[in-house]
Amino acid sequence: RFFYDTDADLSIIRNKKVAFIGYGNQGRAQALNLRDSGVPNIIVGNRDDEYKPQAIADDFKTVSITEAVKEGEAIFLLIPDEDQQEIWKEQIVDHLLPNATLVVASGYAVAFNLLELPASLDVVMVAPRMIGAGVRDRYVAKEPYPCFVSVEKDASGKSLETAVSIASALGATRGRGAVESSCREEAGIDLFAEQALWPAINSCFIEAYKVLKGAGFSDEAILFDMYMSKEPSEVFERASTVGFFKQLKYHSKTSQFGQLRGTKNNDGTALREKFEKVLHKDILSGEFAKYWSNSLAGGAKELEDLWKETESQPLQIAENTLGLHKE
Ligand code: NDP
């Protein structure tokens, strides 16, 4: 199901006092869009850090997170997913107005039960599928952008109308409209891409580099042909505009033949089995969320170690040796 501008009653969000918790990538873009859509009462709750002067320069009343929560009828939780559990527990949950609406832009914390949700709270997701700069630029240019909308908890019986009103005020119900989804679906697909799809793609590049290097080809030629030429980004750009397979028609006949034949001859069974395991056993079971929360609580040392290990990847060493990306 899609939601369009014509489904939205903008007066719902215009009549609420809105508190933005976090004024980063999404926070700033969404706050500016809501104001330009005629939402008059917006406050920003942020810790006293680098984003605060920006909120003040943009002419928003800026207070602490807890102060903003105390006033907010709609609470936009726009701090990084990995910090939401702690900030919610320590600075938000005990200060919520009765009958407030929590608005998340990502399904993670709600899907994996990281937030204690009071009975009277409405919970909706309005999740733009693009970075904050895109959310703002598209709004200003009156262009559509993809966005997921869902109701996760409907204490008032009016959460869907609120969610659609917010999506419309953000400019997300134009064109093809906002897509009805859920926190579980949004987080599931997002984490699957991060933990299954992209690791598989990364492994393809790592192994391809080793095979080509083993054949005596030069680092310069391999890296420039594989990705420094930006060919992969052009392929994905065309995949989104003309179609995943149809973009192949922009390649030579030899390339089309090689790609279609090679794809047909690839047995995807092992990969699919691995993908199933990652999706069901790790992600949807909540195991990953638990594991990552514990790792974060312990200072995320494993992430640091992974970065260190990556430095010894042959592909990374080749990039360093060629001095391709100066820090
Ligand atoms: P950013 O990292 O850009 O912004 C973070 C904001 O949260 C900043 O204002 C920062 O303030 C504050 N913050 C960070 N850590 C803490 C903390 N420990 N305590 C208090 N405040 C903190 O985040 P995003 O805008 O990228 O993400 C916000 C939400 O939007 C997430 O749920 C994300 O999944 C979702 N989202 C993000 C998209 C993206 O492209 N980035 C796309 C769609 C959804 P400070 O100045 O103090 O650092």
119-170 per-position pLDDT tens digit: 999 999 999 999 999 999 999 999 999 999 999 999 999 999 999 999 999 9
Q: Are 151 and 196 part of one and the same domain?
A: no
Comparing C-alpha atoms, which of 172, 38, 153, 25 is closest to residue 100?
153
Question: Is 305's pLDDT higher than 90?
Answer: yes
219 and 309 housed in the same domain:
yes
Inform me whether the pLDDT recorded for 327 exceeds 80.
no
Residue closest via CA to ligand 1's atom 17 equals 83
81 shares a domain with 152: yes
CATH (domain of 74): 3.40.50.720
The parent domain of residue 302 ranges over 185-322
Around ligand 1, the residues with Cβ closer than 6 Å are: 22-27, 46-47, 49-51, 78-81, 83, 87, 105-106, 127-128, 131-132
Task: Render pLDDT for 70-86 as a digit per residue (tens, 0 to 9).
Answer: 999 999 999 999 999 99
Other C-beta atoms lying within 10 Å of the C-beta of residue 184 = 16
Q: How far is the CA of 61 from the centre of ligand 1 (A)?
A: 19
Token reading at 12: 């719902």
Residue 255 lies in a domain: yes
Q: Is 59 left (phi over 0), alpha (psi -120 to 50) or beta?
A: left
Residue 246 within a domain: yes
Nearest CA to ligand 1 atom 31: 80
In a domain, 156, yes or no: yes
Let me know whether 11 and 99 are in one domain: yes
- Domains: count for the chain: 2
Q: Is residue 230 part of a domain?
A: yes
Domain presence at residue 327:
no
**Rg value, the chain, Cα:** 23
Residue 37 domain-assigned?
yes
Tell me the C-alpha distance between 226 and 293, whole Å. 36
CA of 82 to the centre of ligand 1 (A): 9
Query: Which residue has better confidence, 51 or 263?
Result: 263
Same domain (yes/no): 83, 153: yes
CB atoms inside a 10 Å sphere around CB 233: 10
58 lies in a domain? yes
**Is 173 in contact with 66 (CB distance < 8 Å)?**
no
Q: 192 and 153 in one domain?
A: no
| Final residue belonging to a domain, choices 130, 156, 181 | 181
Residue where a domain terminates, one of 153, 181, 209:
181
Please tell me the distance between residue 170's alpha carbon and the centre of ligand 1 in angstroms.
17
Is the whole-model pTM more than 0.95? no
Are 17 and 50 contained in the same domain? yes
Q: Indicate whether 75 and 56 sit together in one domain.
A: yes
Whether residue 191 sits in one domain with residue 156: no
Residue 83 pLDDT: 94
Question: Quick one: what percent of the chain has pLDDT higher than 70?
Answer: 100
d(CA 13, CA 37): 10
171 and 203 assigned to the same domain = no
Q: How far apart are CA 278 and CA 75, in angstroms?
A: 33
Query: Hey, which of 21, 25, 170, 194 would you mutate to test ligand 1's pocket, going by the most ligand atoms within 8 Å of its Cβ?
Result: 25
Question: Is 67 among the domain residues?
Answer: yes
Ligand 1: which of 20, 21, 26, 152 to mutate, judged by most atoms within 8 Å of the beta carbon?
Answer: 26
Q: How far apart are CA 297 and CA 287, in angstroms?
A: 15
- Using the mean position of ligand 1's atoms as its centre, give its distance from the Cα of residue 12 in Å: 25
For the cut 90, the answer to whether the pLDDT of residue 273 exceeds it is yes
CA distance linking residue 10 with residue 58, whole number of Å = 23
Claim to verify: residue 220 and residue 317 sit in the same structural domain: yes
Query: Average per-residue pLDDT in the chain?
Result: 96
Are 93 and 171 members of one domain?
Answer: yes
| Enclosing H/E stretch for 62 | strand 61-63
Which of 116, 146, 181 lies at the terminal end of a domain, its last residue? 181
Residue 326 has pLDDT above 80, yes or no: no
User: Which run of H or of E encompasses 151?
Assistant: strand 147-153
Looking at the DSSP bridge assignments, the partners of residue 102 are 75, 123
Whether ipTM exceeds 0.95: yes
